[in-house]
């Protein structure tokens, strides 16, 4: 009876995980398709959203949306370049310390790098599990590879490739990723940081600058043209 109960619980757990993964994949497909539609004719959706606000505010809202879009573009470009560099460094490092399937693990680490803050931890788990099949020295060297590469990524790669787009404080970015992840599930981990960037641009431009009158830098904002 206990054995049958254990099998039933295992099947229910597997079904639950399968449902979660399927739901996350379906939501990701919807987001990608919606993103493609919006990318084809962005002005239609932008203008429609701007029209929801009173006319005196429409110019500021439109400008804020443009700045947020530019900040996201800069962040995405920097993130993609960082993913490639991190994936190569991790793959080479794991190969040097003797971890099996180093190329595939480097690819996984590069892909998970897209999720800020949480992604590097997720990318390290498969490598540590494979390293544990060798010996504990390999596990220690594998962990060292990830720590060193993340230090290089945080202190060298991202400041160079992202520039002004990375204006969100780390604590705020972490809170956004965790909070949106709790609300939306796995898909929220992908959307948390981009939403934090958009929110940061809107708060800085519409509230801190326009309402409080403070001189603050806004990510993605184009410098004023010289007269």
Task: For the chain, give the DSSP string.
Answer: -HHHHHHHHHHHHHHHHHHHHHHHHHHHHHHHHHHHHHHHSHHHHHHHHHTTS-HHHHHHHHHHHHHHHHHHHHHHHHHHHHHHHHHHHHHHHHHHHT-TTHHHHHHHHHHHTTSTTTHHHHHHHHHHHHHTTT-HHHHHHHHHHHHHHHHHIIIIIHHHHHGGG--S-HHHHHHHHHHHHHHHTHHHHHHHHHHHHHHHHHIIIIIIITTT------TTPPPPPP-
**Domain-wise residue ranges, the chain:** 1-40, 56-209
Predicted local distance difference test score (pLDDT) of residue 107: 92
According to the model, what pLDDT value does residue 88 have? 93
Which pLDDT score, from 0 to 100, does residue 71 have?
84
Per-residue pLDDT of the chain (227 residues; tens, 9 = 90+): 444 455 555 445 544 544 555 555 565 566 666 666 666 667 777 788 888 888 888 888 888 888 888 888 888 888 888 889 999 999 999 999 988 889 999 999 988 888 777 788 888 999 999 888 888 888 999 999 999 998 888 777 766 665 555 566 767 777 877 787 777 777 777 778 888 888 888 888 888 888 888 887 777 676 655 44
Between CA 26 and CA 32, with CA 27 as vertex, the angle to 5 degrees is: 100
């Amino acid at each position: 009876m206990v054995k049958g109960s254990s099998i039933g619980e295992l099947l229910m757990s597997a079904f639950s995980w399968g449902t979660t993964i399927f739901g996350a994949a379906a939501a990701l497909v919807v987001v990608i398709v919606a993103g493609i539609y919006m990318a084809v004719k962005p002005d239609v959706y932008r203008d429609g959203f701007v029209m929801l606000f009173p006319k005196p505010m429409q110019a500021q809202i439109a400008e804020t949306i443009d700045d947020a879009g530019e900040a996201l573009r800069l962040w995405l470009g920097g993130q993609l370049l960082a993913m490639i560099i991190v994936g190569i460094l991790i793959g080479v490092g794991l190969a040097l310390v003797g971890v099996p399937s180093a190329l595939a693990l480097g690819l996984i680490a590069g892909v998970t790098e897209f999720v800020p803050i949480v992604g590097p931890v997720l990318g390290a788990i498969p490598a540590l599990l494979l390293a544990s099949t060798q010996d504990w020295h390999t596990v220690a060297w594998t962990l060292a590879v990830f720590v060193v590469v993340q230090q290089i990524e945080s202190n060298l790669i991202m400041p160079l490739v992202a520039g002004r787009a990375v204006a969100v404080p780390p604590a705020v970015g972490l809170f956004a990723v965790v909070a949106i992840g709790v609300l939306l599930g796995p898909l929220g981990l992908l959307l948390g940081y981009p939403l934090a960037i958009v929110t940061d641009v809107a708060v800085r431009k519409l509230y801190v600058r326009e309402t409080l009158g403070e001189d603050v830098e806004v990510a993605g904002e184009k410098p004023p043209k010289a007269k």
